[in-house]
Amino acid sequence: MHRDADRPSVLAILHDWVVTVDHKRLGLMYIASGLVFFLVAGSEAAIMRIQLALPNNHFVSPQVFNRMMTLHGTTMVFFVGMPILLGFANYLVPLMVGARDMAFPRLNAFSFWMSLFGACLLYFSFLGAEGLYGGGTAPDVGWFAYAPLTARAFSRGNSTDYWTLSLLVSGIGSIGTAVNLLATTLCLRCPGMTLGKMPLFVWLNFVVACMILIVISPLTAAQIMLTLDRFLGAHFFDTQAGGSAVLWQHFFWIFGHPEVYVLILPGFAFASEIIPVFSRKVIFGYPFMVAASVSIGFISLGVWAHHMFTVGMTPAGNTFFAVSTMIVGVPTGIKVFNWLATIWGGKIRFATPMLFCIGFLFQFLCAGLTGIMLSVAPFDWQLSDSYFVVAHFHYVLIGGLLFTIFGAIYYWFPKATGRRLDETLGRWHFWLFVVGFNLTFAPLHFAGMIGMPRRIYTYQPGRGFELWNQLASAGVVFQAAAIVFFLWNVVRSLVRGAPAGADPWDAWTLEWSTSSPPPPYNFETLPVVRSRRPLWDLKHPDDPDWRYE
């Protein structure tokens, strides 16, 4: 890394970033690429919401709507959620365990580029799949790509292949990062940091890495089978030649459901770091939090077919998956109670990171309640593939994931840049987003209950859908405004934010013990840890934690 006194050229800076193997820079690149794709996928959502604001609207054609829906879902899950989360893990895990870098720095760079190139491949379909090389442009089969929609007969041209290959490429990247995180957590912890003293953030990302290893394999297998179907005339999912569409669903959801937890657990990880610091209390029930996280990981592997209640499984199958789904609610409930107990009686500081975490607790509770409702198979028979489901999972993904991501950005921005984000702008961002998000998705519960199916590009007037959809589309305006505040805040603070110092929040984990931004080697001498809050011990020599643990 060149740190010359005379100013390096833009090209030299760019070169530095492109060839870097430093986990912090890679983490930031992950997060930045995720944010860029967030704007893209958000615009796609806005297009869908404009189209649905009025009945019989002709803003976009049905084909374009399907493409927007597919790209929005795929991008949000694979190229927004995953990269941002893996980016935070990349940045923070080595710092939190007191290591100098990830276990395999070059594999780390490779993984990042794979996921970025995977995303590019998906969007390249706009150029490549029609015009140049045959019919169809962007994929239009939904992020779940149900068979037989993906069969050659129904999906001509190469659009579906772009989808498949893009997930294959980025999947390799995710597996690389997962291996790297596991190795880093297991092998590079600093002296004294036993498994029981790791921050919850590290624990949760450990569980996530295990889950990625387990669930990307069925996804990859399914993609390869689909590629064989489409290129070599195999018939795995071709229902007309004896293949099975339900087989695809099993493959897809055995990946797809745990994937939701791969996205949510890091959200839990952010909350578990932020809430105690801003409540000025130790996290309540650390061992229970760890146990609950591990069991969420396990149980979520056994619930996938709750996405398939309506394919007509046996009653025994339905019962099993309904019950196992409800059981995931238990460890999740434990975690929510532990966060509440951490807040309760604490000296709370309502800074922006904390606001987003409190928002998360509230929204995620709503999501959990509608989730338990949907896990009741007969209820799901009524509401499956209705807008109720769309409302539910956006409460999960936005309430659980996006809120905590925003919280995490406000919390760790000073560490990564040495400057703080502006609190006033942060508050605008928070409140506009809360209002906008609820205005968008709460009404959709009702639209779903009165029968509005999901994945439709328009609807007839007079069914009672208009009001709910107009409210929802109005909400998007607020959300967009919130994002404008956020981006403005980031840009402004990068240039002239208040200097942060090493430890702006008076926090307790190791990343705050090094300077902001941390030097390339993280720690000059590796730290030695005696409790779960090493920084507390240093700041309160008269009353350190290790006396009690």
Closer CB to ligand HEM, 76 or 168, in the complex: 76
Collapsing DSSP to helix, strand or coil, 442 comes out as helix
Beta bridge partners of 386: 453
Q: Among 152, 427, 454, 492, which residue sits at the site for ligand HEM (rule: CB under 6 A)?
A: 454
CA dihedral over 391, 214, 298, 83, signed as positive or negative: negative
How far apart are CB 521 and another protein at their closest, in Å? 4
Give the whole-angstrom CA distance, residue 181 versus residue 548.
30
The residue count for binding another protein (CB under 8 A) is: 63
Site for ligand HEM in 190-219 (CB under 6 A): none
Closer CB to ligand HEM, 303 or 389, in the complex: 389
First-to-final CA distance of the chain: 41
**Tokens representing residue 243 in the block:** 């293949």
Closer CB to another protein, 496 or 547, in the complex: 547
From 72-80, 181-189, 288-296, 341-349, span contacting ligand HEM (CB under 6 A): 72-80
Q: Among 440, 493, 514, 531, which residue sits at the site for ligand HEM (rule: CB under 6 A)?
A: 440
Q: Among 24, 25, 257, 532, which residue sits at the site for Cu ion (rule: CB under 5 A)?
A: 257
**Tokens representing residue 239 in the block:** 């229902």
Closer CB to ligand HEM, 73 or 148, in the complex: 73
Contacted entry of ligand HEM, Cu ion, another protein, none for residue 398, CB cut-off 5 to 8 Å set by kind: ligand HEM
How far apart are CB 308 and Cu ion at their closest, in Å? 10
Q: Among 189, 513, 529, 531, which residue sits at the site for another protein (rule: CB under 8 A)?
A: 513
How far apart are CB 519 and another protein at their closest, in Å? 5
**Tokens representing residue 129 in the block:** 């799949």
Q: Among 59, 60, 105, 481, which residue sits at the site for another protein (rule: CB under 8 A)?
A: 105
The beta strands (E) that lie in 386-475 are given as: none
**Tokens representing residue 56 in the block:** 């019989």
Binning the chain into helix, strand and coil, the percentages to the nearest 5 are: 70, 0, 30
| 69 lies in the binding site for ligand HEM (CB under 6 A) | yes
Which one, of 273, 317, 320, 314, lies nearest residue 299 by Cα? Answer: 320
| 319 lies in the binding site for another protein (CB under 8 A) | no
From 251-259, 342-350, 380-388, 462-470, span contacting Cu ion (CB under 5 A): 251-259
| 266 lies in the binding site for ligand HEM (CB under 6 A) | no
* C-alpha separations of 280 from 273, 287, 516 in Å: 11, 19, 22
Which one, of 503, 471, 265, lies nearest residue 387 by Cα? Answer: 471
CA dihedral over 216, 220, 226, 229, signed as positive or negative: negative
Site for another protein in 75-104 (CB under 8 A): 100-101
* C-alpha separations of 91 from 30, 102, 356, 408 in Å: 10, 9, 21, 12
From 37-45, 77-85, 162-170, 258-266, span contacting another protein (CB under 8 A): 162-170
* SS3 sequence of 153-197: CCCCCCHHHHHHHHHHHHHHHHHHHHHHHHHHHHHCCCCCCCHHH
How far apart are CB 80 and ligand HEM at their closest, in Å? 6
| 401 lies in the binding site for ligand HEM (CB under 6 A) | yes
Residue with tokens 């594999």: 107
- How many CA atoms within 13 Å lie on the side-chain side of 399? 25
How far apart are CB 397 and ligand HEM at their closest, in Å? 4
Q: Amino acid identity, residue 146?
A: Y
Contacted entry of ligand HEM, another protein, Cu ion, none for residue 257, CB cut-off 5 to 8 Å set by kind: Cu ion
Closer CB to another protein, 33 or 514, in the complex: 514
| 392 lies in the binding site for Cu ion (CB under 5 A) | no
Contact 504, 85 (CB under 8 A): no
Contacted entry of another protein, ligand HEM, Cu ion, none for residue 273, CB cut-off 5 to 8 Å set by kind: none
Which residues lie near ligand HEM (CB under 6 A)?
42, 45, 48-49, 69-70, 72-73, 76-77, 80-81, 142-144, 390, 394, 397-398, 401-402, 440, 454-455, 476, 479
